[in-house]
Amino acid sequence: MPKKKILLIEDENMISEMYTYVFEQRGYSVSVALDGVAGVEVFKQGQPFDLVLLDVMLPKKNGIDVLREIKEHKPQVPVFLLTNLGQESVLETAAKLGAEGSIVKSNVLPEQVIELVDTFFTRTTEQSTAEHDA
């Protein structure tokens, strides 16, 4: 099975390096963008991604605007928001734009984010297998 490709759009270097390392150790391929403009460019010009992890508070272009552009370009690609904000209005907007969900970084350990991604890919693989077998 080919490696799942994750685009991580996160402006905090330490966080992006940590997630990149751990995801790669788990067998994922990771591309990183450190601001919103770069995130959109990498998404549109890069390899097809299986999942996007997107910070909300980004320089140059905020995460909601990035989400909007991603969903306009390829609506089928799942996006999870990574945020330190628990603002309901931001989360509601993200859900309306098609985000799969959101993760409040201050409420979870990095290991929990990794587990969420693992579970997401396991679930989607099982669903596609079940649909294929039906």
129: pLDDT confidence band, cut at 50, 70 and 90?
very low
Confidence of residue 101 (pLDDT cuts 50, 70, 90): confident
CA distances (Å), 13 to each of 17, 20, 123, in order? 6, 10, 30
Residue 42 structural domain:
5-133
Q: Using the predicted structure, report yes or no on whether residue 24 has a pLDDT greater than 80.
A: yes
Q: Average pLDDT of the chain? A: 86
Q: Specify the pLDDT at position 33.
A: 96
Question: pLDDT digit string (tens) for 115-128?
Answer: 888 888 888 766 65
Q: How far apart are CA 98 and CA 66, in angstroms?
A: 12
Number of domains in the chain: 1
Q: Which two tokens stand for residue 122?
A: 């396991």
Q: Give the mean pLDDT of 99-120.
A: 85
**pTM, rounded to two decimals:** 0.87
Check which CATH number belongs to the domain holding 64 and give it: 3.40.50.2300
Residues near 109 by Cβ (< 8 Å), separated by ≥ 6?
Answer: none
